[in-house]
Amino acid sequence: MNNLLGIDFGERFVGIAIKKSNVSIPYAHKIIDAKNTELISEIKDTVEKEDISKIIIGYPIGLNNNPSRMSKLVDNFIQNDLKVNFDLPIKKVDERLTSKIIDHSTDKRYDDLSAVKLLETYCSNE
């Protein structure tokens, strides 16, 4: 089974989406407030419950194709948290425009929908 976990990593809010092997489209799962919740515990719980076999994480490259400050934070999160806690393949997906696709005209958080877009991008390129 090839169930995918999509992560839209942010300094405070982390969007989570899931793509099940038996369903054609990914779906928004949750938004984790890393300030008030143990992020790795939440991700571990989701990985176990949803039988995840691969992690897809958004990689914020600047519009000029250079790494950004957030690129370094994502790299640190991958190295120090994901690789240490999960024995799963981890793939980075260019997320330059994913959050721009989502309508931000309200105060509602859309990090989980950005994670859906990451999974859609990943699946369309596989």
Please report the pLDDT score of residue 65 as a whole number: 84
Cα 100 from chain centroid (whole Å): 16
In the chain, the N- to C-terminal Cα span, in Å, equals 16
Please report the pLDDT score of residue 27 as a whole number: 95
Cα 53 from chain centroid (whole Å): 14
CA–CA separation, 71 and 77 (whole Å): 10
* Structural domains of the chain ordered from first start: 3-125 (3.30.420.140)
CA–CA separation, 62 and 50 (whole Å): 32
Closest C-alpha to 96, from 68, 60, 125, 120: 60
Please report the pLDDT score of residue 1 as a whole number: 58
- How much of the chain, in percent, has pLDDT values that exceed 70? 90
Please report the pLDDT score of residue 90 as a whole number: 97
Tell me the pLDDT of the chain (126 aa) as tens digits: 599 999 999 888 999 999 999 988 999 999 999 999 899 999 999 999 999 999 999 998 877 888 888 899 999 999 999 999 999 999 999 887 665 555 556 667 778 888 999 999 999 887
Closest C-alpha to 52, from 97, 2, 124, 12: 2
